Amino acid sequence: MMSISLKAQIADTLCDLRNISFQSGEYMKYKVGYALGLIWIKAGAVEFTVKDAELRGRQAYHIVGEGGTYSFYEWLFSVDDKYETYIDKETLLPLRFVRKIEEGNYKYFNQVDFDHENNSCTSLKGSYKVPDCVQDILSAVYVCRNLDFNNVNLNDTVPFNIFLDDQVYSIYVRYLGKETIRTKLGKFRCIKFSPLLIAGTVFEAGESMKVWVTDDKNKLPIRVESPILFGAVKVELNEYSNLRNKVEAKLD
């Protein structure tokens, strides 16, 4: 009963979070490695930027995530993706989401504008009803960095809703405890969790992805590991700057 009550309490906070984890100017760069059997290759990079913006009279964080494979490995599988979200600074709810995908022969583009007062959104394909506090796939990453995991029990899940590909999905992240991991940037105390994935052109549905974020106010994503449809992928933080808080989880 305590675990169920705690999950309900956390879910409610998704509608009433304040940002203490990121700021305008934050920059993160990741190296992407692919596993082919026992061989790991450094095949790509991903960058995330946060800037100030104004949209429909609201002050917002304009967050852009861009990633792709290095040209040398495009014969294996070509990826050139760009995600954009505009997050209302006051409510931490997305105002607009833009998704441009080029993965192999698959191409996709969509823009979604959210109207949270009327629980609706409009994409290039039509208008849809959405639940309270719905997120997009990129805004969810940044908003969840503000969750407090200190009172969460092992294997508890934190549920929330996202709007993706003109559908609402009910997903969650599962808390897997705390670990200390070593990377090329040093050793970090981390919170480990597993998000419920939606099946796509690269990832399989389920909880197979593992994510490590710093165990401090930044909740800085340090490492992501996951099987994919044609092997496995490992994403690791390679560079960061202009964080909102000191990286207290860094041990050396």
**3-state DSSP assignment of residue 12:** helix
CATH number of 2-238: 2.40.360
pLDDT of residue 193: 94
pTM: 0.89
Q: What does the alpha-carbon distance between residue 193 and residue 235 come to, in Å, rounded to a whole number?
A: 15
Eight-class DSSP state of 215 = S
pLDDT of residue 72: 59
Eight-class DSSP state of 77 = -
Residue 184 CB contacts under 8 Å (≥ 6 apart), including other chains: 236, 238
Q: Degrees (nearest 5) of the Cα angle 35, 37, 40?
A: 35
Q: What does the alpha-carbon distance between residue 30 and residue 222 come to, in Å, rounded to a whole number?
A: 9
Residue 220 CB contacts under 8 Å (≥ 6 apart), including other chains: 28, 145, 213, 214, 237, 240, 243, 247, 249
pLDDT of residue 149: 87
Q: What does the alpha-carbon distance between residue 208 and residue 226 come to, in Å, rounded to a whole number?
A: 6
Q: Where are the domains of the chain?
A: 2-238
pLDDT of residue 232: 84
pLDDT of residue 200: 57
pLDDT of residue 66: 96
pLDDT of residue 81: 92
Q: What is the dihedral of CA 240, 246, 250, 251, to 10 degrees?
A: 150
User: Which residues face 175 on adjacent strands?
Assistant: 193
pLDDT of residue 129: 98
Eight-class DSSP state of 21 = S
pLDDT of residue 243: 99
Q: What does the alpha-carbon distance between residue 142 and residue 221 come to, in Å, rounded to a whole number?
A: 10
pLDDT mean by block of 10 residues, the chain; 252 residues: 41 76 98 78 91 98 90 65 97 98 88 98 97 96 92 91 94 95 97 84 72 98 87 92 98 92
The DSSP bridge pattern shows strands 120-123 and 126-129 to be antiparallel
The alpha carbon dihedral of 159, 163, 165, 168 has a sign of positive
Residue 44 CB contacts under 8 Å (≥ 6 apart), including other chains: 31, 32, 34, 67, 68, 69, 70, 73, 79
